[in-house]
Amino acid sequence: MIIAIDGPAGSGKSTVSKAVAKRLGILYVDTGAMYRALTLKAIRKGCGFEDEKALIDLSAETEINLQASGDTLKVFLDGEDVGAQIRTAELTNVVRYIARVPGVRSRMAELQRSVCAESDAVLEGRDIGTIVFPNAEFKFYLDADPKERANRRLKDLMATGHKMTLEEVEKAVKIRDKGDMTRQAGPLRCAEDAIVIDTTRLTAEEVAEKVLKTIHEAKKS
């Protein structure tokens, strides 16, 4: 069973996906963490973001592993735990240059499919229900008011010691949304058969309950 959860930044995907995977006792795959890890490697190696060939080659020779550890997900880049380094605001602002390269996306999609080859999983991302698993049993698209999404992102950033204003976060989220929605390869899109949940006025627990209820009801019938 594959559960695809897509949506823009701050729509609540991570918290909800983690909670749903935990309740069902299945794998949780944060595909954004994979793009983030590859971005970190590209920065370290000094790869130019315009050099598509170098980025594709880099993705082919990179090993990315996700490992559940209690309530957190550990992200290993070529064996190194890079969990904290891939969440900085600076890195977040440049992931889109890597994520727009078609050859990189196909390599990532391949990795994501292989991770789930032998296990049920909840995958969160931008193109899971449309491209990576178009036949997923369950597809959800989470969205929320842009101001609320920026507020949530600001809280996440403050919790990790970043100092930004709401205005700065709002601007960064807007730029990222635009990049994610308008790229040619794997754009952020709601799959036609996805269930849309507006999370603006819901807690993450309420959204997770809605998702779980949908799954349980479908399984009963």
In the complex, which residues of this chain contact ligand CDP (CB under 6 A)? 9, 13-14, 31-32, 35-36, 95-96, 99, 125-127, 176, 180
- 158: Cβ contacts below 8 Å, ≥ 6 apart: none
Which lies closer to ligand CDP via its Cβ, residue 11 or residue 24?
Answer: 11
Nearest approach, Cβ of 47 to ligand CDP (angstroms)? Answer: 16
Nearest approach, Cβ of 31 to ligand CDP (angstroms)? Answer: 4
Which lies closer to ligand CDP via its Cβ, residue 14 or residue 59?
Answer: 14
Which lies closer to ligand CDP via its Cβ, residue 14 or residue 199?
Answer: 14
Which lies closer to ligand CDP via its Cβ, residue 127 or residue 143?
Answer: 127
Nearest approach, Cβ of 160 to ligand CDP (angstroms)? Answer: 13
Bridge partners for 5 per DSSP:
124, 140
Burial annotation 174-207 (CB, 10 A radius, 16+ → b, else e): eebbebbeebeebbbbbbeebeebebeebebeeb
CA distance 82 to 104: 20
Taking CA atoms, 9 is separated from 13, 45, 106, 120, in Å, by 8, 27, 21, 24
- Judge whether 138 and 2 are in contact, CB under 8 Å: yes
Which lies closer to ligand CDP via its Cβ, residue 56 or residue 213?
Answer: 56
H or E segment and range at residue 10: none
In degrees, rounded to 5, the angle at the alpha carbon of residue 113 between the alpha carbons of residues 64 and 50 is: 55
Nearest approach, Cβ of 27 to ligand CDP (angstroms)? Answer: 16
Nearest approach, Cβ of 217 to ligand CDP (angstroms)? Answer: 27
Residue nearest ligand CDP by beta-carbon distance: 32
CA distance 75 to 111: 14
